[in-house]
């Protein structure tokens, strides 16, 4: 099992550009989430999904879109990057009925 795989590991974007952060898990986990981690602010939930075809907003959803067409994949799309979106992004997954999220190793995004 590879666990939760995030790509790319690093990315630099110019303001206004769009991009997709990829997240894939091979554990057949129903629940998947995207968090952003900023210094002094902990991790904040962006979007989450309870299964294929079902997504919902978290605490800081503005500027981000998600979709869940398969159980395995949960991409995060930045529509028009802004410097405020400079952060480390983590994808996480969890098996229904069990606690404990498995996190990916993160994508460090810089918007200039």
Partner 1 sequence: QQQVKQSPQSLIVQKGGISIINCAYENTAFDYFPWYQQFPGKGPALLIAIRPDVSEKKEGRFTISFNKSAKQFSLHIMDSQPGDSATYFCAASKGFQKLVFGTGTRLLVSP
Site for partner 1 contains 50 (CB under 8 A) = yes
Site for partner 1 contains 1 (CB under 8 A) = no
Stretch that binds partner 1, among 11-19, 20-28, 44-52, 65-73 (CB under 8 A): 44-52
SS3 58: coil
Report which of 1, 27, 40 is spatially closest to residue 92, judged by C-alpha positions.
27
Pick 64 or 90: Cβ nearer partner 1: 90
Pick 17 or 44: Cβ nearer partner 1: 44
How far are the Cα atoms of 58, 83, 88, 101 from residue 11, in angstroms, in the given order?
23, 13, 10, 24
Site for partner 1 contains 40 (CB under 8 A) = yes
Pick 48 or 64: Cβ nearer partner 1: 48
Distance CA 80, CA 31 (A): 27
């Amino acid at each position: 099992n590879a666990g939760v795989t995030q790509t790319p590991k690093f990315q630099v974007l110019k303001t206004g550009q769009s991009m997709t952060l990829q997240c894939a898990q091979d554990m057949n986990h129903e629940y998947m989430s995207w968090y952003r981690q900023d210094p002094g602010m902990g991790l904040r939930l962006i979007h989450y999904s309870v299964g294929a075809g079902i997504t919902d907003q978290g605490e800081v959803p503005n500027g981000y879109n998600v979709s869940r067409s398969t159980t395995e994949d949960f991409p995060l799309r930045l529509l028009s990057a802004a410097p405020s979106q400079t952060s480390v992004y983590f994808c996480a997954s969890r098996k229904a009925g069990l606690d404990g999220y498995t996190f990916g190793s993160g994508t460090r995004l810089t918007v200039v």
